[in-house]
Chain A
Amino acid sequence: MKHALAILLLTTAATPALAAKVYVSNEKGNDVTVIDGDTFEVLGTYPVGNRPRGITISPDGKELYVCASDDDLVRVFDPETMQELHTLPSGPDPELFVLHPSGNPLYIANEDDNLVTVVDTQTHKMLAEIPVGVEPEGMGVSPDGKVVINTSETTNMAHFIDAETFQITANVLVDSRPRFAQFSDDGSKLFVSAEIGGTVTVIDPATQEITKVIDFDIPGVLPEAIQPVGVRVTADGKKVFVALGPANRVAVIDGETLEVTDYILVGQRVWQLAFTPDQKHLYTTNGNSNDVTVIDVATNTALKSIPVGQQPWGVVVAPQ
């Protein structure tokens, strides 16, 4: 046992650079909590502007982007030092965004203006404003970077946008108040969550046809508490995780049969999700219990709760 511990310590000491850092935006705390993905310890909390919600990181891990919703801009930070590098124009009240797989551009949903704003992350200039449905919110991008998805909460649609021409090429009607759009890594499925509808719609991106609408039924939980928001799919496409808001559960869906296999109790008002790069762990933001839960992806179990700031909203893990 002593030897095993010594080896473990040696290994840990030799690989500090491999620790995946986890960044959590705290909507009410106006800050970002940084967590060590190996030790689950909070490394620090840093102010990032007013009402931070959407959060993402560049593929090279050098720029952390935060939607500062009440500042009407995107703030960009050095993920190592958490010093602000610069800001990006975002249009009013940016809530959620998605980065092109290449790291440029950034597609931002502007809820109040019914627009998606496209911003060049290198020149920091706005490239386009794309009119979409009423109250745009969820943003997704296909793995090949050719198609951007926006969901509009009031129009109840997933809009397919050509990433080069910025034209809408298709609209798919989904359930009430769609919040999030996520492609599978092979690009064969698009998952769109509907908060009020209480469902996840699975769309074939090639034909834009709905292949399945997934319902959730949790014993002992009233249906109105089931409000799907964040969605993540494992790289092999075998598991889909869906955050169910005030149901305080994360649903696990079989990626092939599209049947729900499990519900994991995490924290209160579970909102967004992020995998670690090795996909062993999934982090959930729990807005009302002010913590994040670490889920063990292999066993579908909640490993640990880590207290963070006030009203955690978004989460991203640095690439390795």
Chain B
Amino acid sequence: MRYLVLAAALLVPVAAQAATPTADWPCIQRLQPRLSLGQAWTGPTPPDGAAIPAETAALAERLVQRRMTLDEAEAEIAAFAATTDAEGLALLMQAVFHRIDTQRATIIQGISRYGHAQVALAEQVETRRRRMAELEAADSPDFDAIDAEERALDIDMRVFTDRQHSLTYVCESPVLLEQRLFALGRAIAAQLP
């Protein structure tokens, strides 16, 4: 019974206002596949096809790394702002947006694979459980086979449960990237002339 509950847990939302988790999107957060620049930026829009200077791209690359604190990021942005104009800042924002949105989309694809792997594992647990029941119901049970199946079942269960616990953190990753984008957007906008 507990295996069934475990398998079902994948598809049960835990928050009333949340999304309904599926194998494609096993998170309670509502899926928003791509971000848009306007969610974090009301400054000028760079001209279509404008090239991003190498220095701007390099700065964007550093800014999106979460190991850089926001204070450090703000200082780097301020130093950059002293050397450029509004269009230069807009290009920086565009470069930051492109990097974070791409990274986030890759993570979302990974979460989908994670969700499908969990469903497959839940099915495997269910198959093992049925096999155990069959082995136990035999007229002369093969206890070695039952022990082997039980060990395999325990391992599958442990992996499933560990992954399920990690899901909370995995699902937070896109949100953390959105937060980073918004904070960088604010910091860049603060430097607009």
Contact = CB atoms under 8 A, between A and B. Distances in A.
B36 A220 contact: yes
Interface string B139-175: 0000000000000000000000000000000000001
Contacts of A246: 30, 32, 39
Contacts of A80: none
B179 A288 contact: yes
Contacts of A247: 38-39
Contact of A220 (B17, B37, B175, B182): B37
A135 B114 CA distance: 30
Contact of B39 (A69, A112, A225): A225
Contacts of A69: 16
A159 to B, nearest CB: 19
Contacts of B65: none
Contacts of B109: none
B32 A221 contact: no
A288 B37 contact: no
Given A219-B38, A289-B182, A95 B16 contact: yes
Contacts of A218: 38
B42 interface: yes
B31 to A, nearest CB: 9
Given A95-B17, A111-B16, A221 B179 contact: no
B35 to A, nearest CB: 8
A221 B16 contact: no
A224 interface: yes
Given A111-B16, A248-B182, A288-B175, A225 B40 contact: no
Q: Which secondary structure dominates where chain B touches chain A?
A: loop
Interface in B62-97: none
Contact of A222 (B17, B30, B34, B179): B34
Contact of A288 (B41, B178, B186): B178
A269 to B, nearest CB: 9
B45 interface: yes
A287 to B, nearest CB: 10
Interface string A148-162: 000000000000000
Interface in A96-115: 111-112
A225 B178 CA distance: 12
- Contact residue range for chain A? 20 to 34
Contacts, number: 49
B150 to A, nearest CB: 36
Contacts of B16: 69, 93, 95, 111-112, 135
Interface in A285-316: 288-289, 305
B36 A221 contact: yes
A289 B38 contact: no
A221 B30 CA distance: 17
Given A95-B17, A112-B16, A222-B34, A265 B42 contact: yes
A268 interface: yes
Contacts of B40: 248, 265
Nearest to B34: A222
A225 B179 contact: no
A201 B38 CA distance: 24
Determine which residue in A93, A220, A267 has the highest number of CB atoms from chain B within 10 A of its CB, and name it.
A220
Nearest to A265: B42
A112 B15 CA distance: 11
A220 B178 contact: no
Nearest to A229: B17
A248 B17 contact: no
Interface of B: 16-17, 30, 32, 34-42, 45, 175, 178-179, 182-183, 186
28 contacts: A69-B16, A95-B16, A111-B16, A135-B16, A219-B38, A220-B36, A220-B37, A220-B41, A221-B36, A221-B38, A222-B34, A222-B36, A224-B32, A225-B35, A246-B30, A246-B32, A247-B38, A247-B39, A248-B39, A265-B40, A265-B41, A265-B42, A267-B182, A268-B179, A288-B175, A288-B178, A289-B182, A289-B183
Given A220-B45, A265-B41, 11 more contacts: A69-B16, A111-B16, A220-B36, A220-B37, A220-B38, A222-B35, A246-B32, A248-B182, A268-B179, A288-B175, A305-B186
Interface of A: 69, 93, 95, 111-112, 135, 218-222, 224-225, 246-248, 265, 267-268, 288-289, 305
